[in-house]
Amino acid sequence: MTASRKSMGLHLGVLVVLAALFFILPPYHTGNMARIMVLAIYAMGYNFLFGYTGLLSLGHALFFAAGMYGFGMTVTQLGLPVPVAFAFGILAAAVVSLVIGLLALRTSGVAFMIVTLMFAQAGYLTILYFGEYTRGDEGFVIKQAQRTVAGIDLTSEAGRYGAAFILFAICFLLLARLVQSPFGRTLIAIRENEERTRMLGYDATRLKLQAIVVSGAVSGMGGATYALLFGYVGATFATVQYSIFPLLWVLLGGAGTTVGPLIGVLFMFYLIDISSSYTDAYMLIAGVVLVLLTMFAPQGLAGELRKRVMPWLP
């Protein structure tokens, strides 16, 4: 079996398992899985920039929030139909990431981290500043009635899981394809050696900008999906913490692997959820596990898999 076939099999396999889980798991865990898939969309968006292009951003919460507010505010305040508002959310995130990209790409390395961090911080404060419209930190609720698409109630367990699954699957397959396309391979080349890629005649800055926009749009889609499925929009999602989460998920799951983000989110979610049912000190456990993981699985979970048993893992 060729690598690309194996990879195709793997991706379809993951999706089949995710679809089947809905029928197997008890309701609490299907609820969690829906949430995990939504957050995994965000993580995949992040991974595209960090794992494949090699740009470490600390400002992705801004893109997540752009999608979230872009969708949430147009659907509640302008009364746009859900699909239009959803598309608007993604567009908003793409535009924001384009602007940030144009500025931030003048820098690289740690300076890139800081510039993205600061723009995101300014974005967070802007949400608070326009509290009259955004309701600041408190945020706002999207009513159940406004969360229906084509007659399907997305607030029902099946509707939510289905929507999360479909949107996750689209991003999952598209991104898996994209990283194996010439565009994706050039990005990997930039990650490995930018100078050489430039010398081969590629416009690295332009490609990186495109990567930021793709990454930002997917992250924004994660934000819009969260608002759509869980009915809440708030400034907390624009804080630094929510910029660090995807980095953590991706590093844990395995940067530069297509399944890594999902694994990372899944791992982190259940790490907190399970340990918190045994002790109040669950962050302590989470901390110890992170330390151990980085000591013994330096490539992240999927990265270790790739290194040890599945070298073809995309």
Which residues between 86 and 145 bind another protein (CB under 8 A)?
103-104, 106-111, 113-115, 117-119, 121-122, 125-126, 128-129, 131-132, 135-142, 144
Cβ at position 310, least distance to another protein in Å: 21
- Main-chain dihedrals φ then ψ at residue 148, nearest 5 degrees: -125, 135
Residues 242, 57: Cα–Cα separation, whole Å:
12
Which residue bears the tokens 């953590």?
248
The reply on whether position 195 binds another protein by CB under 8 A is no
Residue of 34, 68, 16 lying closest to 242 (CA atoms):
68
DSSP 91: H
What's the residue count for the chain?
Answer: 314
**Residues within window 154-193 making contact with another protein, judged by CB under 8 A:** 155-156
Residues 297, 247: Cα–Cα separation, whole Å:
16
Cβ at position 137, least distance to another protein in Å: 4
Residue of 212, 57, 74, 52 lying closest to 120 (CA atoms):
57
Cβ at position 295, least distance to another protein in Å: 6
Among 180, 236, 304, 310, which residue sits at the site for another protein (rule: CB under 8 A)? Answer: 236
Closer to another protein by CB, 14 or 62: give it: 62
Among 80, 162, 173, 232, which residue sits at the site for another protein (rule: CB under 8 A)? Answer: 232
Closer to another protein by CB, 133 or 183: give it: 133
Q: Three-class SS of residue 313?
A: coil
The reply on whether position 283 binds another protein by CB under 8 A is yes
Closer to another protein by CB, 91 or 272: give it: 272
Cβ at position 49, least distance to another protein in Å: 14
Long-range contacts of 186-191 (CB under 8 A, 24+ apart): 187/52, 187/53, 187/211, 188/52, 188/53, 188/256, 190/53, 190/54, 191/52, 191/53, 191/54, 191/256
**Residues within window 285-304 making contact with another protein, judged by CB under 8 A:** 286-291, 293-295, 298
Q: Longest C-alpha distance within the chain, in Å?
A: 58
Q: What is the CA radius of gyration of the chain?
A: 19
The reply on whether position 248 binds another protein by CB under 8 A is yes
DSSP β-bridge partners for residue 153: 148
CB count within 10 Å of CB 110 equals: 10
**Residues within window 19-38 making contact with another protein, judged by CB under 8 A:** 26-28, 31-32, 35
Closer to another protein by CB, 94 or 235: give it: 235
Residues 44, 261: Cα–Cα separation, whole Å:
6
Candidates 80-88, 192-200, 212-220, 283-291; binding stretch for another protein (CB under 8 A): 283-291
**Residues within window 212-231 making contact with another protein, judged by CB under 8 A:** 230-231
Cβ at position 198, least distance to another protein in Å: 15
